[in-house]
């Protein structure tokens, strides 16, 4: 596999995807904002607009004492997410996986848009709302939880908006990683990156740990497509493209001769 002589365009990216034995994708908040979900910490995000304190919302000890604040945030988040659909890039990644061109997706996002787009191997470092577990009886077969389902569960709960287990009445907790909890499947993500020939970092500034460590574990080429600065130093086999993700991947998919529904 030849390394590009300069930062590659879509054609070179497509050729790298085609010629690499193992391609892994790491996605961040930029992919969600492109779908219409404002960055939680941004000026239009829920933390600022609804005056939520993230140190309390996602604090596991506070949730165990009183889950109401988290579920108030969840209600607002689901109202926001109800009309959000996977972007072209989400769908393109699912098609690339179907064609055997990528091994899987590692994501920092909790919105389950990769699942909705059809990706099958998704490592969710921070968990997501896609599944949930009862904190009392540990029933964990609540899966495929879309924003519509969460909205229904919160409305029909005996303690709205807090969702309760239909078996024991305990509090249901979405499988989102809270402050004080260990990120999910980091060993699997590390192994995927370490054996990859090409790591595509999409929509991440690589400022959040431990996800920010992953590109440094790559022995192959690392290609970052992100708007704005990235906390990864330049070096051999590292390429940085400051471009709109959907525009870039439309061109990549065209070069690969694929169709994205």
Q: Which residues contact 97 (CB under 8 A, 6 or more apart)?
A: 103, 104, 105, 119, 120, 121
Q: Look at residue 47 in the predicted model and tell me its pLDDT.
A: 55
- Domain residue limits, the chain: 8-37+87-126+182-256, 40-83+136-176
DSSP 139: -
In the chain (261 residues long), the average pLDDT of successive 10-residue segments reads 68 95 95 82 55 82 94 88 91 98 96 94 94 88 76 92 93 92 94 97 92 95 92 91 95 97 91
Q: Look at residue 52 in the predicted model and tell me its pLDDT.
A: 72
* Catalytic (active site) residue 114: no
C-alpha closest to that of 20 among 139, 161, 242, 196: 196
**Whether domain 8-37+87-126+182-256 has CATH 3.40.50.1220:** yes
Q: What is the DSSP string of 147-189?
A: HHHHHHHHHHSSBTTB-B-TTT-PBEEEEEPPBTSPPSSHHHH
Q: Look at residue 60 in the predicted model and tell me its pLDDT.
A: 94
- Residue 70 Cα to chain centre, angstroms: 20
Q: Which of 62, 90, 114, 126 is catalytic?
A: 126
Cis peptide leading into residue 161 (ω within 30°): yes
Q: Look at residue 239 in the predicted model and tell me its pLDDT.
A: 93
Per-residue tokens: 153: 């569960």
Q: Look at residue 138 in the predicted model and tell me its pLDDT.
A: 87
């Amino acid at each position: 596999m030849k390394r590009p002589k300069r930062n590659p365009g879509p054609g070179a990216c497509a050729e790298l995807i085609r010629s690499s034995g193992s391609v892994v994708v790491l996605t961040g908040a930029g992919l969600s904002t492109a779908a219409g979900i404002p960055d939680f910490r941004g000026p239009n995000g829920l933390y600022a607009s609804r005056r939520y304190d993230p140190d309390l919302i996602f604090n596991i000890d506070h949730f165990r004492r009183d889950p109401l604040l988290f579920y108030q945030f969840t209600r607002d988040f689901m109202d926001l997410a109800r009309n959000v659909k996977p972007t072209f890039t989400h769908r393109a990644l699912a098609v690339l996986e179907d064609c055997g061109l990528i091994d899987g997706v590692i994501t920092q996002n909790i919105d389950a848009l990769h699942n909705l787009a059809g990706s099958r191997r998704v490592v969710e470092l921070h968990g997501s709302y896609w599944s949930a577990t009862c904190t009392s009886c540990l029933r964990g077969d609540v899966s495929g939880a879309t924003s519509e389902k969460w909205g229904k569960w919160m409305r029909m709960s005996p303690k709205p908006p807090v969702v309760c287990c239909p078996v024991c009445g305990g509090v249901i907790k979405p499988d989102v990683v809270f402050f004080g909890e260990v990120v999910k499947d980091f060993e699997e993500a590390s192994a995927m990156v370490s054996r990859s020939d090409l790591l595509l970092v999409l929509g991440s500034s690589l400022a959040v740990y431990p996800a920010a460590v992953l590109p440094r574990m790559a022995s192959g080429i690392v290609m970052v497509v992100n708007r704005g600065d990235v906390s990864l130093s330049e070096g051999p086999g590292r390429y940085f493209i400051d471009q709109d993700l959907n525009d870039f991947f439309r061109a990549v998919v065209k070069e690969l001769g694929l169709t994205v529904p």
